[in-house]
Structure 1
């Protein structure tokens, strides 16, 4: 019998592999017998992570698909959404390491985003604001990273219309879930997959123009996208979000003006929505009445708190005009600035107005860089649709991005939208419409 030393290293490694595989198989088998649902979930999760890591396109699409369900994911784990974003970034880094093609993320939008990161870091150094400041600064940096990854991926590998289809389908499913929760809870405000109804409306607003555009682009599945658009409109209405409804109105007017939506289609869609509302009033009058009463009850208080919040943000900007109160500074200094202006006021972590929020925490320098980033995105999208002779698909995509920007930025007048994906996603799509200049 040969000694252990006589066995070759290759045979020893093979033997260890066989033993390890056998032990792993026994462990997985036993675990499957005891907790089959848990094991199946772990297998699916691990497989998804591996596929996402190896294919940046899959990683981006999964990220877009899960974002409308961020509220549910946060209930599972507070870092679930951040983990998906991290996987996207890791997949992109692996793509850079294994692909000969250089990154193509150079664009005025990404330049301004890089400047925003510098401002955030400078403001964080001057006004640390403890853990709150670190969390808010991380949000900005992570969304800038997502923006750069999306621009490069959309230019190199991923069809923007595939991303649009994913956005519409996932948002429509989220809308259906929100409507079901709204009905089961006998009214209130539709939210469901995202805890705050106003933020939920913002995500649905971003998806609606793509549903309309896909309906025009795809003859075979026109009914599918038309149904999705109606569901999204009904869900936005069920959120009772004033910013969402105002954004919806602005967006529909621009969609008609830019011919993303035809008048005949708009009339049919509005008729269907009106019928749905009438059916709800007849079948479930208590549900509708409770929702209207609840909205009316909080309406005046919301107006007062928003006005006070905006005033405090302006005062913080005036006191620290260069770099603001630092990331998270609005929440940290809110009670100090509020004083005794309002009896028994709620504590606000954000100003509920995107530009005032940025100004209060990053100063006029940060506001200028942030506004330049938005303006660069709007300019890129408008130029792409206005340039003579572009292919019809690209022109339709550019017009869709312009319409979506109109709705989302209108909603941002009443929300701190810089902390959510829609703004950054539209910036990435706008930048990707500009022909790429390759980075070294």
Structure 2
């Protein structure tokens, strides 16, 4: 009876809920579009429960989060966002985009803490792959059954979907390398879905990001050339088979993509130039969160009559234009801190395949964001959190190592 009561208490322990909510937050992020289609607030449920459970546990235990330099950067960046939003409070998108920024910063801080203590990093990586695989399956469904020329699945923009899928792909490697039960086999199947879904988007930026991630994995000797060649061969055979079965649909998609690609080059150049002008004239506070969309017509001299409120399609220029030089420097410091933290964790004894995969995912996001505005998607923030948590777990950061590696 005593053992039964103890098991029941363990099942209902707040730490179990914390792990479940953390994994749910990561897994559901790639399919946010499907959740929003059901209810406008459903996508906020898992992060909200994660935050409430985290606060309750830390208050109960009277413990502060494990300190890491990334916490200070996140706090300073939040201050910059709030100050810039306050200066430009009259802008039409300021409140909306401030409400986008702050949850990502809070969730990142929470994930750094819980991934360094209660939640195994592997569980978060498995959740990221699982959620992205569902999004990839949705992408293929939208292409085959939905009749779309470019797969979009749960996201409106195929390029954004390609980024989410490509960022998750390197994380398959440490799951397969662990060789625990049926999970590696499922991870391989998920990897195939991620590749197929990303290919179905016909995203050039996604392809470049994938190439950068693969080169990193090969250079760090986590992915062997033999395995890479075998994977490419299998994918080539599958792609050839798909091209034979759906030749007409493929030709139509390629024609549409060719037309869109030439247009995208011109529009991106216009938007990048406008972002540079905005930054030049507003170097301190920028034009506020979401301000690029409001100010684009004026700074581009109304270059796109049919598109008055676009994004910059370059994460770095958009952040700089909206939050000024201080905001851009802090944002770059967050990414740089994560890269350094992952390398320090690797040298301090963290799982090599896992850390190099995290680096490859972060690199893929950084490369894709040269052509896309990806600051409002979780892959970037998850990799920042995981890298810094791994450093704390190895004890190479400013805290003692965690027992649950």
Normalised to the residue count of structure 2, the TM-score between the two structures is 0.90
1:434 corresponds to 2:391? yes
Distance 1:214 1:82 in 2: 27
- Residue aligning to 1:45: none
Distance 1:310 1:381 in 2: 31
- Residue aligning to 1:173: 134
1:211 corresponds to 2:172? yes
1:64 corresponds to 2:21? no
Distance 2:44 2:211 in 1: 33
Q: How many residues align?
A: 384
Distance 2:302 2:103 in 1: 36
1:229 corresponds to 2:186? no
Per-residue CA shift, 1:24-71, capped at 9, x if unaligned?
A: xxxxxxxxxxxxxxxxxxxxxxxxxx9999721111111111111111
Distance 1:127 1:340 in 2: 21
Bigger radius of gyration: 1
Distance 1:256 1:346 in 2: 41
Matches within 5 A, 1:239-318: 239-318=201-280
Q: What is the aligned counterpart of 1:353 among 302, 305, 314?
A: 314
Deviation, 1:219, is: 6.2
1:84 corresponds to 2:46? yes
Distance 2:54 2:225 in 1: 42
Out of 75-84 and 354-363, give the one that drifted further.
75-84
- Residue aligning to 1:411: 368
Q: Structure 1 262/219 Cα, relative in aligned 2: closer, same or farther at 3 Å?
A: farther
Deviation, 1:349, is: 3.2
Q: Structure 1 212/54 Cα, relative in aligned 2: closer, same or farther at 3 Å?
A: closer
Matches within 5 A, 1:7-22: none
Distance 2:14 2:381 in 1: 21
Secondary structure in 2 aligned to 1:191? Answer: coil
Distance 1:157 1:243 in 2: 36
Deviation, 1:85, is: 2.0
- Residue aligning to 1:329: 291
Q: Structure 1 76/404 Cα, relative in aligned 2: closer, same or farther at 3 Å?
A: same
- Residue aligning to 1:119: 80
Distance 2:299 2:126 in 1: 45
Q: What is the aligned counterpart of 2:116 among 155, 158, 168?
A: 155
Distance 1:57 1:212 in 2: 22
The 8 Å contact of residues 30 and 135 in structure 2, kept in 1 or not, is answered as yes
Q: Cα RMSD between the aligned structures?
A: 2.0
Distance 1:139 1:284 in 2: 40
Distance 1:51 1:198 in 2: 41
- Residue aligning to 1:143: 104
Q: Which sections of structure 1, spanning at least 5 residues, go unmatched?
A: 1-49
Deviation, 1:414, is: 0.9
Secondary structure in 1 aligned to 2:155? Answer: coil
Distance 1:352 1:100 in 2: 44
Q: Structure 1 265/225 Cα, relative in aligned 2: closer, same or farther at 3 Å?
A: farther
Deviation, 1:182, is: 0.7
Normalised to the residue count of structure 1, the TM-score between the two structures is 0.83
Q: Structure 1 262/76 Cα, relative in aligned 2: closer, same or farther at 3 Å?
A: same
